[in-house]
Every structure is written in structure tokens, then in C-alpha cells.
Amino acid sequence: MAFLRRLSIRSQLLILAVSTVLVILIIVYHTYSTMSAMVTRNHEEYVQQTVTEIKKNVTSNKDVLFRLMQTISYNADVQSYLIEQNAITRFEMFKKLNVLISNQRELKDGILDIVISGDNGFSVDINGGSPYAADLKKLLPGKVNAYYAGMQQFGTLYGSATGLVFATTISYVQQGESFNQKLGTLFFIVDPKALVGEKEYDSKQTNTQIYLLDRSNKIITSNTSSMTGEQGPELETQSAEGGNQNVLWQGKQYVSQTILLPDMDARIVSVAPKDELLRDLLVLRRQELIILAVGLLILAIPFTMIMNNILRPLKKMIFFMTSVSREDNLKFSKRISLKGYMEISTMADEFNSMLDEIERLSHKLLETNTRLYGTELERQKSELAFLRSQINPHFLYNTLEVITGIAAVEKQDKIKKMTRSLSSIFRYSIKGTDEVELGQEIQMIKSYVQIQQIRFADRFTVHYSFTDEALRHSVPKMILQPLVENAVYHGIETTLKPCRLEIEGFVEDSGTLIIDIKDDGVGIEAERLEEIRMMLSQPRSSFDDPKGWQSIGLVNVNNRIRLMFGEEYGMRIDSTNGEGTHIRLRIGQRRDNINVQSIDRG
């Protein structure tokens, strides 16, 4: 089986076709052999029955002859005639004998002549066979009893040139000195056909020849045109099959059966030509082979079509898969359309679906890589902008610490608070990772707001409201400072009324962090608000805003959130001119491995 699995489908289909043809041929051969054996067996049974019937008739007729011969040979008048010396008495007895043997002859058809030949030189016959008695006696081995002496030519005496001779020795049966003394011989000359009977045995259908042969292989009778007395067939035995023998005769093969007749030292031989015996089967076999050849030619058409329907789509599929594998891994624009059997169509559809999925995943991967690259680029831009806008942060941080110390010595509390808050902002900005907990970001915002409250002489108050879950949520570093700065400089600074700044946060059931930054300052004009919203909705790209002092910070924050968490997250801004501004941030989850730090809610 492993060998077959390594072969191509075409080779396997061809092996299947050849195997099918071989099986059909084996079936045809087996059928022919079985029918041949059946025909041979039926012929054997038929011939066996015919020959058995012939044997039965021969035996029966011979028994009749034997009884008649006994009746005559043991007759007292016959024995008296053979020992009588008086010529007158013998003449009277001769007439009686003629009547006796004539009557006995009438009891069995086919008896040509009955001859009583005495050893005293006297004889009696019916149809003049006495002159042949001397020659007939030469055929006898001695004393005999219903002995088949052979065939003898009688010319035209009996209308048939050849007759069968049966002989019985006549012995004296009366008590006395002559008891059991041989007196003469009784001869029955019989027509050969009378020995078999009047029934004809026709075997023309298979040309079966049946011969009754004597001990000298001469034909006694047959169903052929051969004459009685001719030499019988000389058969050369080749092999035996059951009761049959395969013999060679006259250069042809025959099937022969032989039954012996011991009483006559004769035999019955049947001979049938083997080709004639199986003639109808040979015709049938030839017709079957022709039908098989025509059937195979007819079947070759759908077989070839089916094989092509299987192989052509498979070759096309393999070629398409090879061509796809040679292309750019990110380009799967081609699709295959196969018209064939159901399985190959299903396989093509599944392969196309796989290509669609690969293409979708490739685009998604490309988008993810683009977003990550954009995030990294934005981070690098932020770092570059920070470096450009800052003198050495460590120098500034150390300087602020010195100023804080001097303010403490001089008892300048405001200066001390401002410098300490500014120092905290610098320390927060130059240390740590790109992501922090919201609680850490709020601590930095509180330092920034404290500076602004001192600067604006407490013109605004700040309210913080965050849930514990929100404070543990991870956010991008420095994400709130631009928004609080925007609220202070553009919403609160431009008005002289006391204002309120609210910074709140909570986590939705879906895990999304919501941060609200509200102020009740001057707000934003409707036209300008629409421009800002338009810039926030545009794809991440560089843009030219003549009023960038108000919008660039908002756009950058929005872009950072969308790049890190996806397009469904970001910023929404609402504002009413003269009443204030509300900014809402939606931030997704990134990781939960940042340590929780407690903060002062304020």
C-alpha cells in the first residue's frame, strides 16, 4: 500500500483499470472453464447413458441367443440325430430338426442361420450355412458355451456379406457310456445390428461416434458410415479426465469413453472431437471477448473523461498554488476558479477563502505595524520636540532645587512651592517609561496646576474625582498636561471671573478608561470648534493650522491615543462660547503590570 501511495493519481487509476480488465478476463476464463467442464460432464453422462444402454441391449440379446442355443443343444432329438446311424431314421429326425430350429429362429429377429454340425459328418441348417461349418470350427478354441467366434464373410448367402458367429459345443447329456461326449457344434449366424437392437443412437450434435468392437478391434456395428468388419479406430491415449480420455486420432484430439463387454471379449468405444464438443462454447467465448473488447473501448471514453476531470483541476490547482508561493508574501490578489467534481470545487473555494483570510490578516498586520511605527515616530517626535524646547533637564532640575532651598531660607513660600512643583514636573518628564498609571499622571498634573494657581493668584479652583480602578489604569505619559494647559491658557486666562477646573476619571464595564476635563471659561466659538473637530477626525498626517497654538496639542494627544490603542479610541471635544469647554478621552487597556501608587485626591 505504501508503494501505491507514492505513485501519481494517473498511475493509480491506470493500475485500477488494468486490474479491472484482468479481473473481468479471469471471470470470463473461469466461466468458460466451468461451462466447458459442465458441457464435457453432460456429454460424458449422455454418452455413458447411451453406451450403457447399448451394453444392456448387447448383453440382453446375447442372453437370448444363449438360451436359444441351450434349448437346441440340449434337445433330445438333436442329440439323437447326431448319434443315429440309420439313414432312414436320421432322415425322419432331420425333418423334425428343421422344424425345431426354424421355430427357434422365429423367437429372435436377426438370426440369419442356425447350423448344427455333427462330428459324424452330418449337419442341419436353415439357409444353407453348412458348407461354412468346417471353416467356422477353426475359429473355436475347443469346447465352448455360447462363445462369440468372430465375424465371417458369407458373400451373398444371407444378403449381408458379414455375419456374427456364436458357437456352442453339443455334448451328450443322456446317462450311459456316451455321457458328456462331444457330438458336434451348434452355430448361430447373427446379423450384427440384431446384437445392438433396432434403436438408433444419434449423436450428430457433437459428432460423437460410437463403435462396438470385437476382440480383433473390428467393427461389429457403429452409428457411422463404417462397415461391419472394418478395422476400428486406433486411439492414442494422451490423458484421462474422470471417465473421459483425451486421445489423438487422425491428427485430431478426441474425447473417448470405453466400456468392456467381458462375455463377448468386446468393447464399446465412443469418440467425440474435442473442438466439436466445445464448438458452441468456443463461439460463446469469442462473442464474449468481442463484447468485452467493445465494452472496454466504450468504457475507455468515460474513464478518460473522468480521469481528466480529476487530474486537470488538480494540475491547475497545483500550478496555481506554486505560482502563489512564488509571489510576494503580502500579495494574494489572484484567485482560482475550478470547474470539476464537487471535492475539487470545494477545495478551490476553501483555498480562495484561505487566501482571503491571509490577505485580510496581512492588511491587518500591515496596519498594526504602521500604527506601531507611527507610535514610535510620534514618540520620537515628542522626544525631539522636548529636547529642542529644553535646556539640559538635569541642569534645570538641580537649579530649581537650589532655588527651592534659597526660598526656604528666605521664607518665600510661594517661590518654594512653585520651584518644588516645577522640579516635580521635570523629574516626572525625564524619568520612567512611555506608559504610567493614571495616578502618577495626576500627581504631575497637580504640580502643574499648583504652579498655575500661584501664577493666576488663585483665580480658579480645581476638583479631582477618580475611581480606584481608574487610577490603576495605564495611560500614555504626559497625555493630560497639554489638555490642562489648553484649558488654563485658552479657557481661564482670558477671563477675569473666577473659574472652576474639573478633572474626573472612571472605567466603563468594557474596560475603557474615561477622562473628563471641564472648565467654565470663555469656551470656543462654534466655527473654530468645527475646525478643531475636523482636524481630530482626519487621518494622522501633518497639517497646516494657522491657529496651531490652540489645536496642535489637542491633535497630538488624539493621535497618540489612536496610534497606541486603535481608531475607536481618542478625544471628543464639546464647547459653548462663553460657558466653557468639555474634553473627554477614551483610552483602552494595554497592560496591568504597573505598580499601584496611592495619590492624594485633593
CATH number of the CATH domain containing 233: 3.30.450.20
**pLDDT confidence band for 155 (50 / 70 / 90):** confident
Q: Could you tell me what percent of the chain has a pLDDT over 70?
A: 80
Contact between 464 and 448 under an 8 Å Cβ cutoff? The reply is no
Residues 537, 574 within the same domain: yes
> Among 360, 378, 401, which residue terminates a domain?
360
What average pLDDT does the segment 186-209 reach? 72
Q: In whole angstroms, what is the distance from residue 452 CA to residue 462 CA? A: 11
Q: In whole angstroms, what is the distance from residue 31 CA to residue 29 CA? A: 5
- Virtual CA dihedral for 481, 485, 491, 495, nearest 10 degrees? 140
Residues 116, 218 within the same domain: yes
Q: Could you tell me what percent of the chain has a pLDDT over 90?
A: 11
For the cut 50, the answer to whether the pLDDT of residue 537 exceeds it is yes
For the cut 70, the answer to whether the pLDDT of residue 293 exceeds it is yes
Residue at 253 is within a domain: yes
The sign one gets for the Cα dihedral 174, 176, 180, 184 is: negative
pLDDT computed for residue 520 by the predictor? 92
**pLDDT confidence band for 389 (50 / 70 / 90):** very low
The residues near 519 (Cβ < 8 Å, ≥ 6 apart) are: 460, 487, 491, 492, 499, 500, 501, 502, 580, 581
Cell match 471514453: residue? 301
Residues 258, 306 within the same domain: no
Residue at 377 is within a domain: no
Residues 263, 289 within the same domain: no
For the cut 80, the answer to whether the pLDDT of residue 168 exceeds it is yes
pLDDT computed for residue 551 by the predictor? 64
**pLDDT confidence band for 502 (50 / 70 / 90):** very high
**pLDDT confidence band for 69 (50 / 70 / 90):** confident
Contact between 575 and 582 under an 8 Å Cβ cutoff? The reply is yes
Question: Which grid coordinates are listed for 343?
Answer: 471535492
What average pLDDT does the segment 421-450 reach? 82
Least confidently predicted of 145-154, 304-313, 398-407: 398-407
Q: Higher pLDDT residue, 188 or 279? A: 188
Residues 22, 149 within the same domain: yes
**Of residues 76, 161, 82, the one with CA closest to residue 115:** 82
Q: In whole angstroms, what is the distance from residue 180 CA to residue 170 CA? A: 9
Q: In whole angstroms, what is the distance from residue 600 CA to residue 602 CA? A: 6
The sign one gets for the Cα dihedral 352, 357, 358, 359 is: positive
For the cut 50, the answer to whether the pLDDT of residue 600 exceeds it is no
For the residues of 418-481, what is the DSSP string, one character each? HHHHHHHHHHHHHSS-SEEEHHHHHHHHHHHHHHHHHHTTT-EEEEEEE-HHHHTSEEETTSSH
**pLDDT confidence band for 123 (50 / 70 / 90):** confident
For the cut 80, the answer to whether the pLDDT of residue 315 exceeds it is no
Pairing of strands 499-507, 460-466: parallel
Global pTM reads 0.46
Residues 203, 79 within the same domain: yes
pLDDT computed for residue 587 by the predictor? 93
For the cut 80, the answer to whether the pLDDT of residue 512 exceeds it is yes
Residues 268, 292 within the same domain: no
**pLDDT confidence band for 65 (50 / 70 / 90):** confident
Reported as type and span, the H/E element at residue 245 is strand 244-249
pLDDT computed for residue 266 by the predictor? 86
Residue at 398 is within a domain: no
Residue at 595 is within a domain: no
Number of domains in the chain: 3
Residues 181, 115 within the same domain: yes
Least confidently predicted of 215-219, 294-298, 376-380: 376-380
CATH of the domain at 531: 3.30.565.10
What average pLDDT does the segment 171-184 reach? 79
Q: Higher pLDDT residue, 556 or 398? A: 556
pLDDT computed for residue 602 by the predictor? 37
For the cut 90, the answer to whether the pLDDT of residue 323 exceeds it is no
**pLDDT confidence band for 548 (50 / 70 / 90):** very low
Q: In whole angstroms, what is the distance from residue 151 CA to residue 139 CA? A: 10
Q: In whole angstroms, what is the distance from residue 29 CA to residue 17 CA? A: 18
Reported as type and span, the H/E element at residue 309 is helix 279-326
The residues near 573 (Cβ < 8 Å, ≥ 6 apart) are: 524, 529, 532, 533, 536, 554, 581, 582, 583, 584
What average pLDDT does the segment 336-361 reach? 75
For the cut 60, the answer to whether the pLDDT of residue 131 exceeds it is yes
pLDDT computed for residue 550 by the predictor? 52
Q: In whole angstroms, what is the distance from residue 161 CA to residue 181 CA? A: 34
pLDDT computed for residue 391 by the predictor? 42
What average pLDDT does the segment 147-167 reach? 82
What average pLDDT does the segment 459-477 reach? 92
Least confidently predicted of 365-369, 411-415, 436-440: 411-415
Residue at 409 is within a domain: no
pLDDT computed for residue 559 by the predictor? 87
What average pLDDT does the segment 292-311 reach? 80
Side-by-side strand order, sheet with 460-466 = 460-466, 499-507, 513-519, 580-587, 570-576
Residues 302, 334 within the same domain: yes
Residues 175, 71 within the same domain: yes
pLDDT computed for residue 414 by the predictor? 73
What average pLDDT does the segment 124-139 reach? 84
3-state SS class at 356:
helix
Residue at 264 is within a domain: yes
Q: How many CB atoms lie within 10 A of CB 361?
A: 10
Q: Which of 72-86, 246-260, 502-516 has the highest mean pLDDT?
A: 502-516
The residues near 419 (Cβ < 8 Å, ≥ 6 apart) are: 400, 401, 403, 404, 407
Q: In whole angstroms, what is the distance from residue 344 CA to residue 338 CA? A: 7
For the cut 60, the answer to whether the pLDDT of residue 390 exceeds it is no
pLDDT computed for residue 516 by the predictor? 96
Least confidently predicted of 190-204, 254-268, 396-410, 551-565: 396-410
pLDDT computed for residue 32 by the predictor? 74
Segments forming the whole domain that contains residue 580: 432-587
For the cut 70, the answer to whether the pLDDT of residue 392 exceeds it is no
Residue at 368 is within a domain: no
Residue at 326 is within a domain: yes
What average pLDDT does the structure give for the chain? 78
Residues 473, 494 within the same domain: yes
pLDDT computed for residue 464 by the predictor? 95
